[in-house]
Amino acid sequence: MERNTCSAQTSVQVAQKICKPGTSNGLDKLSRLEQLGPEESLDREDPREYCHGGYHPVHIGDTFNRRYQVLSKLGWGYFSTVWLCLDLRLGRRVAVKVLKSGEGFTQAGQDELTLLRCASGPTARHLQSRRIVQLLDDFKIAGVNGVHVCLVLELLGPDLRCWQICFGNPGLSLSWVKQVIAQVLQALDYLHTQCKIIHTDIKPENILLCLEEQNPKQTAGGSVCPYLRKDSKSRRTAEKDLVTPISLKEITVKIADLGSSCWVVGIDQSVSNSGGA
């Protein structure tokens, strides 16, 4: 029998249900984005990519590295799938990115890992390091489709693009925009001066809103803004008992996707891949 080969994905444009803010009091008052039903979930990874060199098959309830239990799927991209997991050792929720196992994908994962380690290493004591998505752990898993690099990242919320969609017209207030810009500039300054990394792909999709964990009783009956990572192409909502947006009185954003078109000063080549997934 001939082995299936992984092919490049084509982008699929899917109708998106858009939410409007119920009030102007804060992001925690936004209406939820409705989760797409099975018949509408057209924007998902190609099942043919689950082949040798491709995606690793993951199921809810699986445990990675005897530590990270899979709770739900966060998203996918050409390079990887991303999963919401419970860290059984520390009791926290994290995002685990499982890269494809092909040689090029593995190298891309190692490149991203190098950059994340740099940003999360000794320089992480710098005040502005908190403006960059944090690498918590990394490991490899051997599966039916090969050996996959896995990155454990802190759990973040919707990207700025999704946030803009939630608010619709006239968009975000000037005061909020100023806060976001200030924090992005702090993040870039940290990458440039402390890590010697030049991020060349700053865009709304790579700026993520921070979330705080909530008690289930606190979120009962409340609205939850879409729970979305940069590489989550389907606009999925979060489980209501897991997380809710932080108060807009103190907005916190972080730069993600260090694997996408980043240059390391002193190295005569770019570390380039599709980043988020």
Phi-psi region of 99 (alpha: psi -120 to 50; beta: other; left: phi over 0): beta
How far is it, in rounded angstroms, from Cα 229 to Cα 93? 14
Catalytic residue set: 201
The backbone region for 206, taken as left when phi is positive above 0, alpha when psi lies in -120 to 50, beta otherwise, is: alpha
* Distance between first and last Cα of the chain: 30
How is the beta sheet containing 197-199 ordered, strand by strand? 197-199, 262-264, 270-271
**CA-CA distance, 41 to 60, in Å (whole number)?**
18
Residue 243 contacts residue 227 (beta carbons within 8 Å)? yes
Residues in the chain: 277
Contact residues for 170 (Cβ-Cβ < 8 A; gap 6+): none
Q: What is the dihedral of CA 186, 187, 193, 196, to 10 degrees?
A: -170
